[in-house]
Amino acid sequence: MRIRVINPNTTASMTAKIGAAARAVAGPGTEIDAVNPEYGPVSIEGHYDEAIAAAAMLEEVRKGEAEGVDGYVIACFGDPGLLAAREVASGPVLGIAEAAMHAASFLSTGFSVVTTLGRTKIIAHHLAQAYGMAQFCRNIRACELEVLALEDERSDARRIITQECKRAIDEDEAGAIVLGCAGMTDLAKAIERELQVPVIDGVTVAVKFVEALVGCGLGTSKRGDLAYPIPKAYTGRR
Ligand code: 5HY
């Protein structure tokens, strides 16, 4: 099977990191296609960035459909354009926030999200509510790190994130941690070893969930609101 993992921001180093993490867990019969759009924000840090990135991400899903891609992961913690992507795709489409929150609810009775900037916390809060995960979500914490600090070797990102995860365990009584940025995908296992609780990276769990759904021969419903988009003219930029 072929799974397209889409980094909706346009930072190639993050796309490469996400692709490496996805390939590390993919099964022997799974080909991982890690891509990012040609246009859009270098990092997604709020509603405006998400809106621009979602449209660009959808182009990657449309291209995937023409190429016979079996399933998709939207590798951005805001799950931008998730339902729109499900309209376009025939196979499963998972966002990393939805996947990570559900995984955390299988492994603990309460999790905390640790994300980058405080201004994006409301996005995770809205998603937890939309996904029925509010009852499991103990807290949403921000490290006040810019997303691209995760791509900077000189930044202290790993220590700062680990400290916030420890505060979540101690203060929120979180049984598990959800990492609130695709760019944190390479930190999960090290933090888990240090803190001895499940630290869930949405990229890898989303890949395995998509694999499972495709493996069961399941795809996105094409009835009702997730039916393919109504054919129409799109003027100007598509
Ligand atoms: C992400 N932004 O996963 C989100 C995380 C965030 O560019 N990739 C981004 O901090 O909102």
Residues 91-113: tens digit of each pLDDT? 999 999 999 999 999 999 999 99
Label residues 87-105 b or e (16+ Cβ within 10 Å = b): bbbbbbbbbbbbbbbbbbb
Helical H segments across the chain, by residue range: 12-25, 47-66, 82-88, 96-107, 121-130, 157-172, 188-195, 202-215
Averaged pLDDT score across all residues of the chain? 97
Q: How confident is the model at residue 13 (pLDDT cuts 50, 70, 90)?
A: very high
User: Do 174 and 198 contact (CB within 8 A), yes or no?
Assistant: no
Q: Say how many Å lie between the CA of residue 75 and the centre of ligand 1.
A: 8
Per-residue pLDDT of 74-92, as tens digits, reads 999 999 999 999 999 999 9
Give me the domain span that covers residue 43: 2-95+204-224
Residues 81 and 174 both lie in one domain = no
Does residue 230 lie within any of the structural domains? no
pTM of the model: 0.98
74 and 103 assigned to the same domain: no
Whether residue 9 sits in one domain with residue 90: yes
Mean of pLDDT values over 123-133: 98
The tally of CA atoms less than 13 A away on the side-chain side of residue 1 is 24
Task: Tell me if residue 2 falls in helix, strand or coil.
Answer: strand
CATH at residue 211 = 3.40.50.12500
Give the count of domains, the chain: 2
Over range 204-215, report the average pLDDT: 98
Asked if 73 and 119 sit in the same domain, the reply is no
DSSP 81: T
Among protein residues, the one whose CA lies closest to atom 1 of ligand 1: 76
If we measure between CA atoms, which residue out of 30, 6, 18, 19 comes closest to residue 215?
30
**Does position 163 have pLDDT exceeding 60, yes or no?**
yes
Q: How far is the CA of 77 from the centre of ligand 1 (A)?
A: 5
| One domain, residues 150 and 102 | yes
The mean pLDDT value for 161-169 works out to 98
Other beta carbons within 10 Å of 13:
13
Sign of CA dihedral 27, 19, 206, 169: positive
The tokens describing 36, both together, are 């990012």
